[in-house]
Structure formats: C-alpha cells, structure tokens
A and B are shown apart, each in its own frame.
Chain A
Amino acid sequence: MSTNTEFPGPVKWVDDRLGIAKIGKKNLRKVFPDHWSFMLGEIALYSFIILILTGTFLTFWFKPSMAEVEYQGSYSLLKGLHMSEAYASTLDITFDVRGGLLMRQIHHWAAVLFIAAMMVHLLRMFFTGAFRKPRELNWLIGFGMLFLGIIEGFLGYGLPDDLLSGTGLRITNGMIQASPVVGTYMNFFIFGGEFPGDDFVARFFIVHVLLIPGIILALVTAHLFLVVYHKHTQYAGPGRTQKNVVGYPLFPVYTAKAGGFFFVVFGITALMGALMQINPVWLYGPYNPAEVTAGAQPDWYMGWLEGSVRIFPGFESHFWGITLSWNLIIPALIVPPAFVTLVALYPFIEGWITGDKREHHLLDRPRDVPTRTGIGVAFITFYAMLWIGGGNDLIATHFNLSLNHVTWFLRFAVILGPILGFWIARRWAISLQRADQERLLHGLETGVIMRSPEGKYTEKHQPISTYEAYSITARDRLVPHEIGPETDENGVRAPRRALHKARAALSRFYYADAVQKPTTQEIEEAHEHAHDADEIHELTEDTETYREVTSDRS
C-alpha cells in the first residue's frame, strides 16, 4: 500500500490554511477507555446540544413580552382571556405551530435530563476519585456548569408566564426579599419594581437564550479541552497503568460509538417529547397573582431548595427596626450555597487531609476508599431529605400521613440521615473490601466438598485468575498522614502544631478500618497454606455445610 504525501484537492485547500495534518495527527487516533460510567457526561453534553437546537426553534415564535393581549388562538378554553404575550405565544407554539408542542416538550425533557445527567456524572467523578490532581479544575468547571444549568432551567421555567411559573417566581421573589439589607433593592432591580411588574420575561429571556448558554458553551469547550488534554481516566486493571490509557481510538470506534450515542440520546428525548406530556401550561392558565394551584411542584432540580424552606421552622427576629427572616435566610440563602460550596471544594479538602499531591489517572473503586464513599452517601442523603421535603404535601396525601408528621420527621432526618448514611455506606464498603481480600487470598468457593480418609470434610477453593487478582490489588496503599515529632533536633517546637494534629487525626479517621491490600508475603503465605493442605477452607463443627453434609449420619 502506497502512502500519500499529498492531500486530495479540497483537503489540501484547508490544510494549506490550517495545517490540519499537524493538529489531527495526534487526535485522530486518540485513545478513549471504554466503560458505561464514562457515558454520563456525554448524555449531559448531548442534551445541551438538543437544548440549543430545540430552543432556537422555540424562539422563532415565542414573544418575550408581558404586554397584555386578549387570546384569540385555537385553544378554545382560554379564548378571550387577558394574558401576557409571552403566555399567548406559548399557547400558539403549542396549538398553532405544527411540531411546536413536540419541540417544547423535547426542550423541557432535555432540560430535565441535562441537569440529571450532570448530577449523576458528578457523582461518578466523586465516588471514583476522578476529581484528584490534575483534574480539580475540571471538577470546578463542571460544578460551574451544573450551577448555571440549574439557574438556566429555572429561568426557562419562568418564561411562559403561566400560573405555575409565576408562582415559582413569586416564591423566588419572596426569598430574595429576605436577604438582609439588599433584599428589597435586589427585587426591585431584578423585576423592574414590584412583583410581578412587566419586565421580567424580557429580561429573563435574554439571560436564558444568550448569556447563560453562552457561558455554558464556553465552559463546555474548556471542560472538553481539559478532558482531551489530561487524557481520560481509566479503571485499574491489567495493562492499565498511571502512565497509559487503554481503549479504542477516536477514529473510527469512538466516532461511531459517541456519535451514535448522540443520536440515541436525541432519539430518546424526541420520543419522550412525542409521548410524555410535560409542563402542560394551557391547563394552568395565565399568571394571576391572587391564585395558586394546590400540590404545585417545581422541576425536580429545584425540589431540594423548595424542601429546605418547607421544613425549616418559622423564626424571625425583630430588633432595632429591622427584620431578620431566619426562616428564609438559613434554608434558602445560607444552607444551599454552603452545601454546594462544600461539595465543590471537596477535592481540596480531601487533598489536604490525605496530604496526597500526586497525579492520579487510575480511578478508585468506591469500596476502596470507604470514608470518601461514606461522605458521598451522606451528601446524597442530605440532598435527598431536602428533596423529599419539597414534596412533603404530596407524600402526606399519597400515603395518608399527617403533613405535620412528615415535616417533623424530615426536620430530624435531614441531620440524622446523613450520619446514618455515612456509617452504613462506609461499613458496606469495608465489607466489600474484605470480601475482595477473601477472594484474593483464599480463592473462590467451588462448592466441592471433599472427605479425607480420616473423615475430615473440606471445601475445595480455586484461586482467582492473575488478571482478576491484579485488578483487585492495583490500588494505592492508604497511609494516614504522619505527624512529625513535637520538637525538632534543636528542641524548637514545630509551628502550627494544633493544625497538624487535627490534620493527622482527620487523616487517621479517613483511613481508619479500610482494608489494606496484602503484601507479597501475605499472599505467598495464603497460597502456601492452600498448597500444603490441598485445600484452603477447612470445615469445622461450626460450618453450616458441615452440618448439612453430616446430618444423615445421626
């Protein structure tokens, strides 16, 4: 096969101007590792593209105006009603533009999916330790996108100016108003005066269609650039080291797989848009500040904020002529930002505690870092309790419970739940580690029971393959942070002793009870023992199997 040293005509034209061979050489066959959990970020990316496509379609007909009009479209139940142009044009898209309802529903489903995918992707990063050096920055960029995505979704939810979205905005308005000192001013600047006013749809619109998507797009670019630049992480396994990346090339395998997956995600959201109703604004009617629907729910990702303000008890302080609404300041203005900041800074907190400053390209299995896994589950539990709180009324009515009991339960569960969740997940991870260790040192139970000439019963164990044994042990040894001597050789006390002590204590806690992988000696001993006795697991009087086998003798 002869190799071309010149591009065909059109490609040459491009290459003469861009030097594509130089850029493409490295990237065309770039290797990406294969694992289902690496697709979660892809889902987020693809739903963002779907959002841009369907959103652009919607802007052709949507009128971001709060001017009052009398509805004269084809939905007869609202004919003649006064409403904003925004709501009227949303009805037009729904009933008079062919494919309009489909696009609205795809847009809404993709938005819901976008945020869900980002969140699950974030959990995958967390539980596998993918956020460690050198990827902390990409973790923060991802966090930025999740944060913006949630705001973007909320703004979009407010645009149709129906009863439900107006109620959502009014709640937001009330929360902003609770901010000390600046609350009323912020509200008057955001809404152009008192709520609802006639400005917010136009303002939210431009932020929703240009400002935030623009920033997200820039962040997506940076995020993907860093993924390519750092090369993808991979799970430990035979032949997969810190210094390589094993998988399939971008061209052709990942072009087909990832490109195909885009169509799969688009196809599924299109089917959801076609078959599953979402946000039927025509049933809610135009916004009326004196009305509200019972059992109203925000989009799922706002649920935890809603729950936070629902379950917080009603406290307010009045002094020196001012009012501090703790019932909003704490659950809406302090707790959510503090929680988000804590999770966002987790890579740096963990890095400080463990003192680990090395690069990591091999992912942890969640069980192998039990404390991190426990912390992650505590985060999830906290979020989940607040999220359940966002539907406390629906839970009460659906399960015939007292609303007050549900709320009181959650007031405690939001604090105790994470502690319990942490403890269970951590112990669970440690148990899984022990099971791994057992498998590694003693092999698989074959279920074959042997009887020796003396009448002793034993079960045959089979050692696991080298590949599997390697996968289990291909992880770091967890060494707690050692604190140096109190004083140096000249008798001078080490500076910031207390901080060091706290750090060492945290580090010991962080690694406490985690199962260390065996040493070469331990593995050899276990195998020798197996070899000598031709069995690994001796059946004793206590063994269940032994009793079963011997039952017919008595």
Chain B
Amino acid sequence: MSNDNLPVKPEDEHGVVEVAEPIPDPGLEPHEPRITDIDPKAADRAERQVSGMFGLATLLVLGSCVAYFAIPRDSILEFGPLSGNANNMVIGLCIGLALFLIGAGAIQWAKKLMVDEEISEERHAAHSSPQQIAEITEAFKEGAEESGFGRRKMIRNSLIGALGILGLPAIILLRDLGPLPGRALYNTIWAKGIRVVNDVTDRPIKPSDLVVGQLVNAAPANLAPLQEENASEYQNAKAKAAVIVVRIKPSEIRTKPGRENWGIDGILCYSKICTHVGCPISLYEQTTHHVLCPCHQSTFDLADSAKVVFGPAARPLPQLPLAVDSEGYLVAQSGFHEPVGPSFFERG
C-alpha cells in the first residue's frame, strides 16, 4: 500500500500531533495548597487519621488470629434470614477490614500529607534515531557475515528443516491423551430385553405403574451394577443411556411411520440427552407434552416423536423402542437406532 495519499506523509510518521492551536498552551495550572499544607493542625489531624487506621488494622489482624482459634468451625452466625459460618465470617471480616484500612491509610497519607505538586517528565518517541539504526544494522550485518548464514544456504535450509520437524514429535507425543472415538458415540448400553428401571429406586417399571401424564426418569437395568465395577465407565454409560419414560393419551400421539409398535399403550421412551449440546432435559409440561432443556431451552414435543418445537436444537430426541417382557416389565426392543446426544461431524 502506498502512503502517498495519506493525510500524514510518511516523513511525518514520526511527527508529533500538534494540539496547541488555536489556543496556545497556557502551561500547568498554578498549584492550590491544601488545608493540610497551610494549617499545621489540619496536618496533625490527618496524621492521626492515618496512624489511627494503621493502628486499627493491627488490632483487627490480631482479632482474626483470635477468631481462628476461639470460634468453633461449625458455629453459625445469623442475621435475620441470612446466615453464614461464623469462623469464616469473622476471620474474613477482620482481615478484610484490616487490609482495607491499611490501603485507605496509605492513600490518605499520600493525598493529605505527601507533597502534591505535579511534576513533569520528558517523553521521547519510541523509534530509534537514524544513527542507532545505522549502528545496529552494521552490527547485525557484521554478525550475519561472520556466521555465513546467508551465504551457506545448505546450512540454513537444513537447520530450518530440522527445527521445523521438531514440531512433529511435540504433537505425536500427545496421541495417548485419549482413545480414538471409533464407534463409542454410536452405542449405549441399551440392548434388546434390557429392563427400563426408575433411575432413583432402580426398580423395573410396569406399564400399570404409569398414569397418563406421568414422566419418569429412567435408566437401563444393567447400569447400576457398573458402578461397583468401574465408577468412570458407570458415569460415561449413564451420560448416554439416561432416558425419560412418559405416558400420553394414545389419541394425542402422532406416531411416525415405522414406529407404530415402539410404544406400549401410550408409553413412550426417549433419550434424556439433549440433541443440542447434551444437557439432560428435565422440565416436562403435561398439558402440551413439551419437554424443555434447562440449559438452552430447546423444546421437544414428546407426543410427536420428540420433534423440536423451539430453541437451538436441530434434531428430535432419539426414541427407544419399548416392549413388555414375560414378567410384564418394560424392556427395550433394541438399542437406540441412532446416536444419542449432540451432533458430530461423522454422524451422517
């Protein structure tokens, strides 16, 4: 880009912004003495204030030490509807006030007693002088010449290559941070014949346990045993397998073709994991059959294959096909037919 047309020509690049026109700089305003400059009594008063603050701070710091040992750690302080841990509160109050007083004292000292006449210091442009530039350029050239870096291109290029390739192990060594995704996101621990259990009581659910309008948070029966085996896998499995079971009046349900036998008398089961970013959805409104994700307010219509009716989610909640086993409990006909939770690139 050429600089020819700039309002400030290149030679003015180091020019100074001229502001002292049309009114010339009258110079610093005359210093107004403070009351503490004129009246020694006022100055003494200020001194007492400052040392008073410092003295009080000392007492408060000591107070915090006493509070640490004297106040039982579980005692509660109450102020009307507010309450808090007494030990923490008193220590905090003492230290906080002490720190504040030390600071306020120092500032008061500076403002009232220290000389308050403003002084001026020269400022210089950041750039180097032509002479300095010439000197450093000369020095650099000399060094570059002595190394032969520019002349011996083979050294230069091979060094650049060697240093560049060093980045590779730095990345490769991080490979074992985690396994590759593989098919992990496509599967949950739901499978054919796994019972649907209440996620608090772990009890299997019978269709007759649910009344119309009811929604139950549920999990697969094979989840709970995992907790004893491997706590981390239990959490991972739970993060994908959580479901909601809802009973809706069959006449209000609009079934998607191919899902006619996925429900039992209006009992439908959906993944609880929001298809937006994976929060467990939880707020159900009986009259509209809408369920709302509390994180980003995506709203799904459970009577209509959990399609999105509002919010940032783009896909319906995956549905789990239900059946009843020989003992009359709800079971899964199969696992989910699609990955649960938020979208990902290779999902299709």
Assess whether A335 is interfacial by the CB under 8 Å rule: no
Taken together as a complex, chains A and B put the C-alpha atoms of A241 and B7 apart, in Å, by 22
Inter-subunit contact B8/A177 (CB<8 Å): no
When the two chains form the complex, which single residue of B25, B84, B125, B315 contacts A316, counting CB atoms closer than 8 Å? B315
A260 is contacted by which of B97, B107, B313 (Cβ under 8 Å)? B107
- Tell me which of B6, B68, B98, B185 contacts A355 (CB under 8 A): B6
- What is the distance, in angstroms, from A114's C-beta to the closest C-beta of chain B? 17
* Contact between B25 and A238, CB atoms less than 8 A apart: yes
Contact of A248 (CB < 8 Å), options: B19, B106, B118: B118
Give the distance to chain A from B244, nearest Cβ to Cβ, in Å.
10
- Asked if A517 meets B178 with Cβ closer than 8 Å, knowing A177-B342, A256-B110, the reply is no
CA distance A99 to B87 in the complex (A): 7
* A239 engages B27 (CB within 8 Å): yes
Interface string of A307-323 (1 = CB under 8 A from B): 00111111110100111
The interface residues of chain B lying within 8 Å CB-to-CB of A184 are: 181, 185, 344-346
Check if A310 sits within 8 Å of B119, measured CB to CB: no
Q: Are A484 and B4 in contact (CB under 8 A)?
A: yes
Does the CB pair B180–A268 fall under 8 Å?
no
Q: Is B314 within 8 A of A327, CB to CB?
A: yes
Residues in chain A near residue B298, CB distance under 8 A: 314
Rounded to whole angstroms, the CA-CA distance of A254 and B119 in the bound complex is: 13
Interface: A148 (CB within 8 A): no
CB distance from B182 to the nearest CB of A (A): 9
The 10 closest A-B pairs by CB, nearest first: A274-B92, A174-B277, A267-B100, A260-B106, A263-B103, A270-B96, A239-B28, A267-B99, A264-B103, A289-B239
Contact at A403–B297, with CB atoms within 8 Å? yes
Residues of B within 8 A of A (CB): 1-8, 10, 12-29, 68, 73-74, 84-85, 87-89, 91-93, 95-107, 109-111, 114-116, 118-123, 125-126, 174, 177-181, 184-185, 199, 217, 219, 227, 231-232, 235-236, 238-240, 242, 272, 276-280, 282-283, 294-298, 308, 310-315, 341-348
Q: Determine whether the beta carbon of B122 is less than 8 Å from that of A244.
A: yes
> A321 to nearest B CB, angstroms?
5
Name the interface size band of chain A.
35 or more
Q: Which of A185, A244, A274, A331 has the most CB of B within 10 A?
A: A274
Q: Check if B110 sits within 8 Å of A189, measured CB to CB.
A: no
The residue in B87, B125, B239, B313 that gathers the most chain A C-beta atoms within 10 A of its C-beta is B239
Chain A 384-423 residues near chain B, CB threshold 8 A: 392-393, 403-404, 407
Residues of B within 8 A of A34 (CB): 118
A268-B96, A482-B5 are known contacts. Are A292 and B91 too (CB-CB below 8 A)? no
Residues of B with C-beta under 8 A to A518: 22
**A243 near B123: Cβ-Cβ < 8 Å:** yes
Majority secondary structure of chain A interface residues (helix, strand, loop or mixed): mixed
Q: B97 to A181, Cβ gap below 8 A? A: no
- Complex Cα spacing A267 to B99, Å: 5
Contact with B118, one of A236, A246, A270, A322 (Cβ below 8 angstroms): A246
How far is B96's CA from A189's CA once the two chains are assembled, in angstroms? 43
Q: How far is the CA of A34 from the CA of B344 in the complex (A)?
A: 54
Are B95 and A270 in contact, with the CB atoms below 8 A? yes
Cβ-defined partner of A467 (8 Å) among B26, B87, B109: B26
A222 within 8 A of B: no
Which residues of the other chain, B, contact A197 by a CB distance below 8 angstroms? 178, 232, 235-236
A198 within 8 Å of B by Cβ?
yes
Which of these, A99, A243, A289, A327, contacts B276 with CB under 8 Å?
A327
The yes or no answer to A469 lying at the interface (CB within 8 A) is yes
A324 on the B face (CB < 8 A): yes
Q: How far is the CA of A407 from the CA of B227 in the complex (A)?
A: 40
Within 8 A of B (CB), among A54-86: 66-68, 74, 82
Q: Is A446 an interface residue (CB 8 A)?
A: no
A337 contacts the other chain (Cβ, under 8 Å)? no
Assess whether A321 is in contact with B348, with CB atoms less than 8 Å apart: yes
**Is A303 among interface residues, defined by CB-CB distance under 8 A?**
no
Known A316-B343, A393-B294; contact A243-B177, beta-carbon cutoff 8 A: no
In the assembled complex, 21 residue pairs joining A and B whose CB atoms fall closer than 8 Å, in A order, are A66-B232, A106-B92, A167-B295, A173-B278, A184-B181, A238-B29, A248-B116, A252-B110, A256-B109, A264-B103, A287-B235, A289-B242, A292-B295, A314-B311, A323-B344, A328-B312, A331-B312, A355-B3, A466-B23, A470-B24, A475-B19
A261 beta carbon closer than 8 Å to chain B: yes
Contact check, A323 vs B26: say whether CB atoms are below 8 A apart: no
Q: Which residues of B contact A245 (CB under 8 A)?
A: 120-121, 123
